[in-house]
Amino acid sequence: MDLPRGFRYSGVAAGIKASAKKDIALIVADEAATVAGVYTQNIVRAASIDWNVAVTPSSQFRAIVVNSGNANACTGDEGVANNRQMAETTAAALAVMPEQVAVLSTGVIGVQLPIEKVERGIGTAAEHLSNSEASFTAASEAITTTDKSPKTVQASVSIGGQTVTIAALAKGAGMIGPRMATMLGVVMIDGEVTTEVAQKILDVATAASFNRISVEGHMSTNDAVLLLASGKSGVVISNEADVDQLTNAVTDVCIQLAKMIPADGEGATHLVQIDVQGTESNEEADQIARTVAASALVKTAVTGNDPNWGRIVSAVGYAGVDLDAHKINLKLNGFELFAAGQPVAFDAAEVSKSIGDNFETLIELSVGGGSGKAKHWTSDLTVEYVRFNSEYTT
């Protein structure tokens, strides 16, 4: 599949990671592009987030520089200076202004960046920019940390008979601190949109995708998603129907990408999808879905291939949503386990086999007659997750 027109990529190893794996990526727009961003809500946030909030949205955007292996978070004034240095070095290498550059960092917290290595890496990356699939892949590799594999999605959408091409890359969530991650995502399109429309599209897409996933629910200091629009397809998207169509296409891409994150959660043996319906509002459904997704008991039950409806139903009960317990219905992988607030007789071995045989587990909850609904995706919780997050040290 084609990549969107108007972008070049590169990914190189600059020596930030001890493993000598790729750790600097550049994503460059050939000419001024439109950018929008969505950032972590954490009050403790990295220098890069403060920078990006200041420079986006914009219609004069040119480049994203990403480093992995170091989050440059909780690093004080030196961290702020190093972040600015990353933007300035990138800007100088590309002959653009620093304010046309966004910075993404991910990795260890509280350690200063090896800024000389980063500067040299940016220089090397700028020399290797290309619009090839290989360069796109190199960039996707360079942003990863604990991910088992890079995460990319490519798609296209026909708008008024003309094709807009979409490419997106992301890295996994689930940890911060030493050996750590953050959720980063970048979506490129070659349609032309205003900054206002770009921000609106990204807000909608993120709300339906990256904001509906969790591994262990720990919000990072560095989470960021950016949307870049080059306009190089020549397709101008401005009327409401076209914007809706593009929004749907970008949302689909973001959902595909977002699901890869809990699917690749540390130690995960299942991707768990939680569908909730029947609440008064979508917000209430979301609250229930998040509460079920956050339950260590639900997650460990899935790990153990256990159709433990008691853990799921009781999590619904403490989600803080005013419900009638007699209207709760639960299906797991299509099997009805609980109906109208009462347990249903079922073949536990058969349901357990269904969980064990499939990587994806589907939890469907219907909790009343309202029109509210929500989806959420999470990892299960395994011995390997705890090992990975407790045994790396001392």
Neighbours of 368 (CB within 10 A): 20
Whether 355 contacts 270, CB under 8 Å: yes
- 81 is an interface residue for a second copy by CB under 8 A: no
Residue carrying the six token digits 């299942």: 270
182 catalytically annotated: yes
- Identify which of residues 89 and 211 has a Cβ nearer to a second copy in the complex: 211
- The rounded distance, in Å, linking the Cα atoms of 290 and 300 is 16
- Cβ-based burial of 239 (10 A; exposed 0-12, middle 13-18, buried ≥19): exposed
Toward a second copy, which CB reaches closer, 295 or 361? 295
| Helix, strand, or coil (residue 328) | coil
Q: Residue 332 forms beta bridges with which residues? A: 335, 363
**Residue closer to a second copy (CB basis): 100 or 287:** 287
- 389 touches a second copy by CB under 8 A: yes
Exposed/middle/buried for residue 114 (C-beta within 10 Å: 0-12, 13-18, 19+): middle
Instruction: Give whichever of 135 and 308 is closer to a second copy, judged by the CB atom.
Output: 308
Closest distance between a second copy and the C-beta of residue 109, in Å? 3
Q: Which of 311, 331, 373, 375 binds a second copy (CB under 8 A)?
A: 311
Amino acid sitting at position 327: K
Q: Minimum Å distance from CB 163 to a second copy?
A: 40
Task: Give min distance, CB of 386 to a second copy, in A.
Answer: 5
Strand partners, 272: 361, 378
If one asks whether residue 303 binds a second copy (CB under 8 A), the answer comes out as yes
Q: What's the min distance (Å) between Cβ of 204 and a second copy?
A: 23
Site string for a second copy, 85-124 (x = CB under 8 A): -----------------------xxx--------------
Rounded least distance, CB 297 to a second copy, Å: 5
Q: Which of 27, 38, 227, 323 binds a second copy (CB under 8 A)?
A: 323
User: Which secondary structure element, helix H or strand E, spans residue 372, and what is its range?
Assistant: strand 372-379
CB of 211 to a second copy, least distance (A): 13
Q: Is 339 in the site for a second copy (CB under 8 A)?
A: no
Taking the chain, what is the end-to-end CA distance rounded to the nearest angstrom? Answer: 47
281 scored as a contact of a second copy (CB under 8 A): no
Phi, psi of 212 (to 5 degrees): -120, 20
Strands 151-159 and 101-108: unpaired
Residues within window 23-42 making contact with a second copy, judged by CB under 8 A? 41-42
CB 120 within 8 A of CB 86: no
Q: Is 341 in the site for a second copy (CB under 8 A)?
A: yes
- Which ranges of 41-114 does DSSP label H, i.e. alpha helix? 47-55, 76-94
- Look up tokens 């439109």; give the residue: 34
Residue 390, both tokens: 């407790």
Q: How many residues at the interface with a second copy, by CB under 8 A?
A: 66
The verdict on 280 binding a second copy (CB under 8 A) reads: no
Q: Output 1 or 325, the one with its CB closest to a second copy.
A: 325
Please report, for residues 187, 248, 271, 310, the alpha-carbon distance to residue 155 in angstroms, rounded to integers and kept in the order given: 11, 12, 23, 40
Closer CB to a second copy, 234 or 310, in the complex:
310
What's the CA gap between 293 and 298, in Å, rounded? 7
Nearest to 66 by CA among 263, 178, 222: 222
Q: What is the DSSP letter of 152?
A: E
- The residue among 142 and 381 lying less far from a second copy, judged by its C-beta, is 381
Contact flags string 171-190 toward a second copy, x per CB under 8 A: ----xxxx-x----------
Per CB under 8 A, 219 contacts a second copy: yes
Q: How far is the CB of 181 from a second copy (least distance, A)?
A: 11
Per CB under 8 A, the list member of 1, 53, 97, 296 interacting with a second copy is: 296
Distance of CA 40 to the CA centre of its chain: 11
Interface contacts to a second copy, rule CB under 8 A: 41-45, 73-76, 108-110, 175-178, 180, 216-221, 294-297, 300-301, 303-306, 308-311, 313-318, 322-323, 325, 328, 338, 341-343, 349, 352, 356, 381-383, 385-387, 389-394
**What residues act catalytically?**
182
